[in-house]
Structures are given as C-alpha cells and as structure tokens.
Amino acid sequence: MIDGHCHLLPPELREPSSAAWKDRWFADCHAGVAPRFASGQDVLTALDSVGLERAVVFGWPFADPGLLREGNDYVASEVGGSGGRLVGFATVNPAKLGALQELRRCEGMGLKGLGELNCDAQGFGLAWEGGLRATLHSCQEVGWPVLLHASEPVGHTYAGKGTATPGRLWKLLQPMLADAPDLRLSLAHLGGGLPLYSNMPEVARICRSIWFDTAAVPYLYDTGVLPGLVSLLGSDRLCFGSDFPLLAPGRYSAHLAAMSEAEVGKWLHQGTEAWLGER
C-alpha cells in the first residue's frame, strides 16, 4: 500500500533565513502557522503509524533551479537510505533552461518520476507547448509518471490554492493526450474537481486516461466525494496521496470508511501502482 504524495525538505532550507523563504509561493504556503517539514524518516514513521508500506516522495515546487536541485539531491539521498520503501520523484521547472538536463541527472541518481509540478508556484504556462511539452515528452520516453498540482475553481480560498483549475487543465489535457498518449499523468487534489464532470462523455474519456490523487481531500471535501468518484470513474483511476507533512495519512480514515473495503483495496493498490507503471 502506497502513499503517493509526500513532500521532503532539506534541513538547511527550513530556516527562515534560507533562500527557500525568498520563494513567494513557498513563503505564502508556510506563513502564519508552525510550518511542517519532513525527512525521509518522518515519512516512514507516518507510514508505520497507519500500516502503509511505501511512499512517493518529492521536494517543493520551487521556481529556482538551484533550490530544485538541492531538493532533488536530498530526495535521492533519503530514498537511498529507506530500504526501498521510498520512491523518489524529481522536481524541475519546465519553464527554465536546463530542466531536461536536471531530469537526466535525477534519473542517474535513481529517481523514478516527476512532480509535484505547480504552474502558479513555478511560473510555467499550462499549455501543451514549449518547456512543459518538452519535459513531459521526455517523461513519456523514459516511462516516468508525472504529478501536476490542480486547484478547485470554487469554494474557500487558502494559501496554495492556485489557478490550475479544470477549465485550464482541460485545454492542456486534450492536446497532451493526442500527442503523448502513453504519458502517465496524475492530477493532484482530485484534479481540482475535473472528474466530477465525468457524466460528460468527452470528460470521462480524458479522465479515464489519467489519474487523480486524494491529497488534501479532508481539507476540501466531505466524505461523499470518493464514493461518488468511484462510481463515475472506476476506482482504478484514483491514487491515495496524503500531502504529508501538511496532512498525516491517518487524517483520511473517515474518507476511507465511506468506501467499501474492496474499493479501498483497489484504490490504494491498483490506482497508484498503475500510475507508477508497476502493473
């Protein structure tokens, strides 16, 4: 059983005097409350507390390639000491020169996917062109799964919500799936609600070609949302992701209890494994 969405941060970037806090999105998301940061061991402890076996871990979606590189180095070293329980993803900025070289460097360090990318935090366009197209094509070539942040167009505002809403994602996904049909893309945070439109046949077709993770769902939705999506999509398009250390995996128990045991098993195992390319 896998938690598909955990953020790590190198200890040297946690101090408010570090360069990380000059990144506007990072500073906004960590202002006002006691910030929570995680090491690889913190993730393993959280997994053990709820009986999960493995986790996908990645850094923070900084805009600056130097900070991203620091995060990728830390992820690779924490993955190396995890006895195979952590799967590391690279995070790059598709809008910056050198993104493809950094992907190759991360592949050499044993990382196995790309994410979480965030267009608001990193300043890239949500269009199938330029750096984003080249970066995702490169992931398709090497068989890497990709995780992209998404946001709800309605509801309460909060730090980190962003503008990657279903209407904008729709314009990206149609040309992307035509041009890169083997790319395994997951939209975080239930795709900002995109699959809730799956009674529209063309939306269902696109949604059944990608994946959606549950990160931050207890912050955003009541417990009816996951059973509703299972009936709309089929559960093998959902991936469990906690957004640790923002939310511990145990915070999802009420949402999991709203599903049958078979659905939870299928969801926890098969959706995430399929997205990762393990089945």
Among 101-109, 167-175, 188-196, 270-278, the segment contacting Zn ion (CB under 5 A): 188-196
Residue 30 as a binder of Zn ion (CB under 5 A): the answer is: no
Complex with Zn ion: residue 4 or 40, whichever CB lies closer: 4
Among 23-31, 39-47, 146-154, 179-187, the segment contacting Zn ion (CB under 5 A): 146-154
Minimum distance of Zn ion from residue 164's CB (angstroms): 9
Residue 99: exposed, middle, or buried by beta-carbon count in 10 A (0-12, 13-18, 19+)? buried
Residue 188 as a binder of Zn ion (CB under 5 A): the answer is: yes
- The overall longest dimension of the chain from CA atoms, in Å, is 51
The residue nearest Zn ion at its CB is 149
Q: Which 8-state DSSP code applies to residue 55?
A: E
Complex with Zn ion: residue 28 or 179, whichever CB lies closer: 28
Handedness of CA 182, 236, 47, 119 (dihedral sign): positive
Complex with Zn ion: residue 149 or 202, whichever CB lies closer: 149
Residue 149 as a binder of Zn ion (CB under 5 A): the answer is: yes
Complex with Zn ion: residue 110 or 151, whichever CB lies closer: 151
Minimum distance of Zn ion from residue 5's CB (angstroms): 8
Give all strands of the β-sheet with 211-213 in edge-to-edge order.
114-117, 145-148, 184-187, 211-213, 238-239
CA 229 remoteness from chain centre? 18
Give contact residues for Zn ion (rule: CB under 5 A). 149, 188
